[in-house]
C-alpha cells in the first residue's frame, strides 16, 4: 500500500528490476548447467536427451539464444566413451551445421541398441 502514485510506481519499478535480476541469475545457472552436463554411464540416450533438452528449453524460455549446432556439439561431447566410434563417425561424415539434436539422438539410439 502506497500513499502516492509516485510511490506505487517506484515500488513497481523496483519489483520489475528484481524480477529481471532473478531471470538473469536463472539464465546464468542454466548456462552453467549446460556447460557441465555429462551423460552418465548407466543413463540411456533418451534419458540424457531429456535432461539436456530441459536445460536448453529453460535457457531459451528466458530469452537467451542457444543455437542448435551448439546443442548438437555439446551432446556429442557429453556422451560416454562407449559412443566414441559413432560420435567420430557423425563428426566426420555428418553435416553438423545442419544437423538437429533429434538426428543425433536417433543415430546414438541406433548405436545404443547395437551395444
Least trusted range by pLDDT, from 6-10, 53-57, 106-110: 6-10
52 with 37: CB under 8 angstroms?
Answer: yes
* Residue 16 banded pLDDT, cuts 50, 70, 90: low
Q: Model pTM?
A: 0.80
Average pLDDT over residues 101-112: 95
Q: Report pLDDT digits (tens) over 27-74.
A: 999 999 999 999 999 999 999 999 999 999 999 998 899 999 999 999
Average pLDDT over residues 11-31: 82
3-state secondary structure of 115: coil
pLDDT at residue 11 greater than cutoff 90: no
pLDDT of residue 18: 65
pLDDT at residue 20 greater than cutoff 80: no
30 with 74: CB under 8 angstroms?
Answer: no
Amino acid at each position: 500500500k502506497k500513499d502516492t502514485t509516485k510511490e506505487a510506481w517506484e515500488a513497481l519499478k523496483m519489483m520489475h528490476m528484481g524480477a529481471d535480476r532473478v531471470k538473469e541469475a536463472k539464465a546464468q545457472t542454466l548456462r552453467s548447467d549446460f556447460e557441465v552436463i555429462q551423460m552418465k554411464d548407466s543413463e540411456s540416450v533418451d534419458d540424457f536427451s531429456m535432461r539436456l533438452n530441459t536445460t536448453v528449453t529453460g535457457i531459451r524460455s528466458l530469452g537467451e539464444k542457444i543455437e542448435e549446432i551448439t546443442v548438437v556439439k555439446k551432446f556429442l561431447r557429453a556422451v560416454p566413451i562407449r559412443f566414441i566410434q559413432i560420435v567420430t563417425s557423425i563428426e566426420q561424415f555428418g553435416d553438423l551445421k545442419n544437423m538437429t539434436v533429434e538426428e543425433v539422438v536417433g543415430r546414438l539410439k541406433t548405436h545404443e541398441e547395437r551395444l
